Amino acid sequence: MHSDVKKVLVSEEEINEKCKELGAIIDREYESHCQPLLLVALLKGSVPFLASLIKHITLDIEIDFMDVSSYDGTESMGDIRIIKDLDRSIKDTSILLVEDIVDTGRTIVAVKELLKNKGAKEVKVVTLLDKPSRREVDVEAEYIGFTIPNEFVIGFGLDYNEKYRNLPYVGVLKEEIY
Summarised one tens digit per residue, pLDDT across range 49-86 is 999 999 999 999 999 999 987 655 555 555 678 899 99
Of 50-54, 60-64, 106-110, 140-144, the one with minimum mean pLDDT is 106-110
Could you give the number of structural domains in the chain? 1
Q: Under a CB-based contact definition with an 8 Å cutoff, are residues 95 and 86 in contact?
A: no
Q: Residue 95 pLDDT more than 60?
A: yes
* Residue 75 belongs to a domain: yes
Tell me, yes or no, whether 170 lies in a domain.
no
105 Cβ contact partners less than 8 Å away, ≥ 6 residues apart: 135, 136, 137, 138, 139
Residue 103, classed as helix, strand or coil, is: coil
SS3 content of the chain, % helix, strand, coil (to 5): 25, 40, 35
Instruction: Determine whether 103 is an active site residue.
Output: yes
- Asked whether residue 4 is domain-assigned, the answer is no
| 114 has pLDDT over 70 | yes
Whether 127 is covered by a domain: the verdict is yes
Active-site annotation holder among 100, 103, 130, 159: 103
CATH of the domain at 28: 3.40.50.2020
Task: For residue 42, give the nearest of 87, 92, 84 by alpha carbon.
Answer: 84
Confidence (pLDDT) at 82 = 87
Percent of the chain scoring above 70 in pLDDT: 94
Report if residue 166 sits inside a domain: no
pTM: 0.92
Distance CA(47)–CA(20), nearest Å, equals 16
Specify the pLDDT at position 70. 67
Range of the domain at 130: 10-153
